[in-house]
């Protein structure tokens, strides 16, 4: 089964390497949303540093949403999803492999980019490790929850909006605690509680979502 998952991950990474636009689009979107914020609100350092945590987290969520729609759709369209489902392995392993590949190309670059973005928004330097850690715990959760929505709208034409409506409520707690952790860190307060909650949500998502999305794919 590990081999089965590795084949899928390798294939999806190879596909992204062949079409780098898929990797770059969400990242550009992330940077653009963040960059537009000072223009719209205020370029004042005091204002931006307060809003930074929320802006970064919301942008990260939007960037994830943008890339999620295609998680299963391309495979569905060209028939490879059928072949993946026919392999003698449970559907959850297929979902997990797809999510890992998705996170590697959407979540991970975002985390690596986040210190730069944080600087752009005058986030206190002491909060940057917390920001990265909270994104490290939070973005896989976003990808996992998103997989349920992506699986449900796979066969639906124009499912993008439906997907957003379906999974946005699931994203709310991740955003609340993710952003709160960064705010707490920038004020020099303890963040252990927030991190524990983010980690708990990730574990919960890991247990529930591959199974749920796998069931949804078979519909």
Partner 1 sequence: MSSIPTSSLLCVNDLACERDSRCLFSGVNFSIAAGDLWHLKGHNGSGKTTLLRLVAGLHPIDVGTISHPSTHAKIIYLGHKLGLKEQLSADENLAWLVGLESSSTQQERYAALEKVGLKGYEENTIATLSAGQRRRVALARLHLCKADIWLLDEPFTALDQQGVEDEESWLRQHTLSGGAVLMTSHQNLSIQPVKVLDLSHYTPAKTSCSSSAL
Q: Which residues bind partner 1 (CB under 8 A)?
A: 3-4, 7-8, 10-11, 14-15, 18-19, 77-80, 82-88, 218
Alpha-carbon gap, residue 199 to 195, rounded angstroms: 6
As a whole number of angstroms, the distance between CA 197 and CA 203 comes to: 10
Closest separation in Å from C-beta 4 to partner 1: 6
Half-sphere exposure of 18 (CA within 13 A, CB side): 6
Q: How far apart are CA 90 and CA 68, in angstroms?
A: 22
Decide whether 92 or 173 has the Cβ nearer to partner 1. Answer: 92
| Residue in 54, 45, 26, 29 with CA at minimum distance from that of residue 182 | 54
Q: Which is nearer to partner 1, 95 or 135 (CB)?
A: 95
Distance CA 120, CA 196 (A): 28
Q: How far is the CB of 97 from partner 1 (least distance, A)?
A: 11
> Which residue, 18 or 157, is less far from partner 1 as judged by CB?
18
Nearest distance from C-beta of residue 206 to partner 1, angstroms: 23
Least distance CB 167 / partner 1 (angstroms) = 25
Q: What is the nearest approach in angstroms of partner 1 to the Cβ of residue 218? A: 8
Cβ nearer to partner 1, comparing 22 with 159: 22
Residue among 100 and 197 whose Cβ is closer to partner 1: 100
């Amino acid at each position: 089964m590990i081999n089965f998952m590795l084949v899928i991950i390798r294939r999806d990474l190879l596909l992204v390497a062949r079409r780098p636009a898929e990797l770059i689009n969400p990242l550009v979107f992330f940077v653009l949303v963040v960059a537009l914020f000072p223009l719209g609100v205020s370029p004042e350092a005091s204002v931006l540093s307060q809003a930074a945590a929320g802006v970064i987290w919301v942008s990260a969520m939007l960037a994830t949403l943008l890339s999620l729609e295609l998680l299963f759709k391309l495979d569905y369209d060209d028939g490879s999803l059928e072949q993946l489902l026919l392999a003698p392995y449970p559907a959850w392993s297929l979902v997990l492999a797809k999510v890992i590949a998705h996170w590697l190309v959407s979540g991970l670059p975002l985390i690596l980019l986040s210190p730069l973005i944080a600087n752009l928004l005058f986030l206190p330097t002491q909060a940057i490790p917390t920001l990265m850690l909270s994104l490290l715990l939070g973005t896989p959760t976003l990808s996992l929850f998103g997989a349920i929505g992506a699986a449900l709208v796979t066969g639906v034409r124009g499912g993008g909006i439906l997907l957003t409506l379906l999974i946005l409520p699931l994203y709310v707690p991740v955003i609340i605690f993710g952003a709160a952790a960064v705010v707490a860190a920038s004020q020099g307060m303890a963040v252990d509680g927030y991190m524990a909650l983010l980690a708990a949500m990730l574990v919960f998502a890991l247990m529930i979502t591959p199974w749920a999305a796998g069931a949804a794919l078979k519909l």
